[in-house]
Amino acid sequence: MQLLKYDVIILGSGIGGFTTAIHSSNLNKKAKIAIISKLHAMRSHSVSAEGGISGVLYPEINKDSEKLHAYDTIKGSDYLSDQDAVELLVKNAPKEIVFFEHLGVPWNRDQKGIIQERPFGGMSIPRTAFAADKTGFFMMRSLYDQVQSLPNVDIFHENFATKILRTKDAVGVFIIDLATGKHKVIYGSSLVIATGGFSRVYKITTTSHSTTGDGIALAYNAGASLKDVEFVQFHPTALVPNGILITEAARGEGGYLLNKDNERFMKRYASSKMELAPRDIISRAIITEINEGRGMKDPSSGLEYVYLDLRHLGKEIINKKLPMIKEICIKTIGLNPEEEPIPVRPAAHFTMGGINTDIDGRVLDIELNHINNLWAVGECGCVSVHGANRLGSNSLSQCSVWGRVVGKEVSKNTHDIKHDDLKELEKLAEEEELRLNVLFDKKGMYTAYELEDEMREVMEKHFYVYRNEKEMKKGLDILEKLLKKSTNLRIQDKSNIFNTNLRDTLEFINQIELAHAVAVAALNRKESRGAHSRTDYPKRDDRVWLKHTILAKDGSGIKINYSDVKITKWKPEERKY
């Protein structure tokens, strides 16, 4: 088995991973940095980000302020975000937009050359910079060019990490090189997890097939705690029937949501914000319309939906600002949004919770102690800026701001690896190799594919926009059975070259653990807050539940703890839009 020594290891190659690499490389030219991606790095899910990145760019022109951005974010989060982290986000987000400008992102501009900002849900003022509706793609392209020019950074494309190996002073990752099936260990002094969220545990999601939460599961198995995983964001406007994201920018540019009576129903749910209310509120509104018989049904999939109408925006706006949305609709369902309204419904989109970190991105255990040499950045980490409901376009800012924070941290954490640590890493690697060999050879009863379908059905049915105890208990019961069955799997493909059957099986094992954690956390939280909306506890309960849920593995079970929400300036109040 190959053992490769680096100083900084970054698992994941989206915006969080790439920005961490660039900043740590710039601050420590001697550090050897490895980026590991299970895909070709440019296929990371960040390329799919559409609508834009938030940040206060022109306070003197539009009377915006960091304070207002912070307030919107905290109110949007239903007061579960840590306010110190939000203050850090809003203070630094504008700099990051300028940083990307310097890297070459072609931000949309007005005729005076000023970067345009578009309205997004829950934001008081338009403050989302964008590059048409392909913002993530342009950011990733610029980052990838930059990373490739750095002499101290190596990218390991299509290398799948199966385990985090930890000793007192060293950290490593066990990897399967997908192209050859060969195993290797990359080890060093700092590991940054930047692998994105786990929306794929749901049946219908706006996210790519790769968003299986691997890094979160690896951290969880390495002793990290998870925070607030019950809060899964359902994006209100996923295309029916395939779930592809129809960006919130479509509503930011003026799109309407209509029910079957052609009524702009948002007036009943958020009369001042209408289609630009936060996502949790719009998703609930859509499902309420459907439940009360004012939706429509797609005959082939049986999915119920409402309409997103862009026709009145006209061809020029659609072609200039939403060209990809038009292309997606035409190419995937044969519908031209210039001529017909788009069928949409809420779908899993973002993981508000994740690996529990402090404000510097350092990973914490269930007692809130730092785990040596481990950081998390981006959607996989929960630094608590989004709380119970993220505002659209705050995620790209979060990835960029904490990519810089964590890049700085790890640039300072480089040290030699002692002989004893290396020996211990080797031993842990041998154990992992044995586990994988057993899994590979096992003649188990189930394939990951059959169990995965069931898991996704359960999540969609029992842990969707509206939840209640009875349904969640039923769902948890099935997930527990699936978790047991996941120890009895068989891999049919016995080849070494690009064995996607092996990869899918490992991804499923990660996902079922995370689906189980979501279910436990959701059942445990007996209130409604943000995206966690319970019909049996319909109100927010600050007296008991103004706290973060912290979970950690406890043998084959889960233990639960809580931590305080950091309130700096904004006292919780009722959310009205």
| Residue 379 lies near ligand SIN (rule: CB under 6 A) | no
Backbone angles phi, psi at 444, to 5 degrees: -70, 170
Stretch that binds ligand SIN, among 43-51, 286-294, 430-438, 442-450 (CB under 6 A): 43-51
CB of residue 390 vs ligand SIN: minimum separation in angstroms? 7
Using the minimum distance from each CB to ligand SIN, give the nearer residue, 216 or 347: 347
Please, what is the minimum distance in Å from the beta carbon of residue 117 to ligand SIN? 14
Nearer to ligand SIN, 11 or 249 (CB): 249
Helix ranges (DSSP H) in 81-161: 83-103, 135-148
CB of 272: closest distance to ligand SIN in angstroms? 20
- Alpha-helical (H) ranges within 298-393 are 314-321, 323-333
Residue 556: Cβ-neighbour burial (10 angstroms; 0-12, 13-18, 19+) = exposed
393 binds ligand SIN (CB under 6 A): yes
Report the residue from 14, 16, 50, 227 that binds ligand SIN according to the rule CB under 6 A.
50
Give one DSSP letter per residue of 381-441, joined into a string: EE-SSSTTSPPTTHHHHHHHHHHHHHHHHHHH---PPPHHHHHHHHHHHHHHHHHHHHHHH
Question: At residue 308, what is the residue type?
Answer: L
Least distance from C-beta 400 to ligand SIN, angstroms?
A: 13
Asked if 117 interacts with ligand SIN (CB under 6 A), we say no
The DSSP call for residue 116 is P
Q: How many Å apart are CA 358 and CA 370, to the nearest integer?
A: 8
Pairwise CA distance, residues 90 & 32, whole Å? 31
| CB neighbour list of residue 437: distance below 8 Å, 6 or more residues apart | none
**Helix residue ranges, H only, 525-559:** 542-545
Q: Let me know if 200 is a catalytic residue.
A: no
251 carries an active-site annotation: yes
For residue 22, the cross-strand partners are none
Q: Which stretch binds ligand SIN (CB under 6 A): 49-57, 58-66, 105-113, 170-178?
A: 49-57
**Does position 395 bind ligand SIN by CB under 6 A?**
yes
Report how far residue 53's alpha carbon sits from residue 129's, in angstroms, rounded to the nearest whole number.
5
Binding mask 51-80 for ligand SIN (x = CB under 6 A): x-----------------------------
Closest approach of Cβ 392 to ligand SIN, in Å? 4
Residue from 235, 284, 390, 456 carrying the catalytic annotation: 235
Stretch that binds ligand SIN, among 100-108, 391-399, 465-473, 539-547 (CB under 6 A): 391-399
- The helix/strand/coil state of 46 is helix
Q: Which of 378, 392, 475, 530 binds ligand SIN (CB under 6 A)?
A: 392
The catalytic residue among 251, 386, 525, 532 is 251
Scanning 21-29, 48-56, 62-70, 505-513 for contacts with ligand SIN by CB under 6 A, the matching segment is: 48-56
Rounded CA separation 503/178 (Å): 8
136 vs 188 by CB, closer to ligand SIN: 136
| Interface positions, 236-265, toward ligand SIN (CB under 6 A) | 247-249
Q: What residue is closest to ligand SIN based on CB?
A: 51
501 sits in which H/E element: helix 500-524
Per CB under 6 A, contacts with ligand SIN among 343-372 are 350
DSSP 8-state class, residue 210: T
Which burial class, exposed, middle or buried, applies to 523 when counting CB atoms under 10 A from its CB (0-12, 13-18, 19+)?
buried
12 or 51, CB closer to ligand SIN?
Answer: 51
- Give the shortest CB-518-to-ligand SIN separation in angstroms: 19
Question: Shortest approach of ligand SIN to residue 279 CB, angstroms?
Answer: 8
The SS3 of residue 461 is: helix
Minimum CB separation of residue 486 from ligand SIN in Å reads 30
Q: How far, in Å, CA of 96 to CA of 395, rounded? A: 12
Upstream peptide bond of 337 is cis (omega within 30 degrees of 0)? no
Q: What residues between 296 and 315 interact with ligand SIN by CB under 6 A?
A: none
Catalytic positions: 235, 251
Query: By the criterion CB under 6 A, which residues form the site for ligand SIN?
Result: 49-51, 247-249, 350, 392-393, 395
